[in-house]
């Protein structure tokens, strides 16, 4: 007799590598979330926005049997268990009028909120867009004054330098899947993430 968790653990971790229906189901549900993020101009996405809220706001729950509510609930449940699939969705920013300055990942792997938490706390508008904050002068209007010394002053110059070096192209924003070389979402790669995060590896071989 072998524990089921050991059976669905990957070969590399001492299991049999058999996929679980739990992971497969969550992956297929998240695929809809991925399509939603990359097709904001599609008719079905606009219908969801009307019924449940926009891509930026919390999903509004309008019914106990809503399929979209179940999709987002499954993503949220995984995140509460330490599996945040959306962290592998890297946003390629092209539209300064729709991308949030602090909260979207448009400058590398982390958000500006994570890289510059002190300045994020000073900004009264946490949802501000890039077009509202993409210069030192605009930032000063949000913060009120510039620090003259210390760590805050160093981070201020770093932030300003980053903004001056950044160039913006025209077009719509889109997301790439960081676990795939071509940037497209793969169900198989997501299953691996869920298994590795939620399942315990076996100490001994079950093959």
The overall average pLDDT reported for the chain is: 76
Verdict on whether the full-model pTM lies above 0.75:
no
**Residue 175: beta bridge partners?**
91
Statement: residue 206 has pLDDT above 50: no
Question: Mind listing the pLDDT tens digit for each residue in 104-130?
Answer: 877 777 888 898 888 888 888 888 888
* Domain segments of the chain as ranges: 9-87+184-198, 94-172
Q: Hunting for tokens 């509202």 — which residue is that? A: 132
């Amino acid at each position: 007799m072998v524990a089921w968790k050991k059976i669905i653990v990957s070969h590399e971790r001492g299991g049999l590598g058999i996929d679980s229906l739990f992971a497969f189901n969550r992956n297929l549900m998240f695929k809809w979330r991925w399509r939603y993020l990359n097709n904001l101009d599609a008719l079905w996405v606009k219908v969801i926005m009307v019924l449940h809220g926009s891509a930026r706001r919390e999903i509004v729950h309008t019914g106990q049997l809503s399929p979209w509510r179940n999709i987002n609930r499954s993503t949220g449940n995984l995140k509460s268990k330490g599996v945040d699939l959306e962290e592998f969705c890297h946003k390629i920013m092209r539209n300064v009028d729709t991308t949030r300055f602090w909260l979207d990942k448009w400058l590398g792997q982390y958000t500006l909120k994570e890289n510059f938490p002190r300045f994020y706390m000073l900004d009264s508008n946490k949802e501000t867009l890039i077009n509202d904050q993409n210069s030192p002068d605009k930032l000063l209007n949000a913060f009120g004054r510039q620090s003259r010394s210390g760590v805050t002053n160093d981070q201020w110059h770093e932030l300003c330098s980053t903004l001056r070096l950044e160039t913006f192209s025209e077009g719509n924003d889109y997301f790439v899947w960081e676990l795939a070389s071509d940037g497209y979402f793969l169900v198989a790669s997501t299953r691996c993430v869920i298994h590795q995060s939620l399942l315990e590896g076996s100490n001994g071989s079950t093959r």
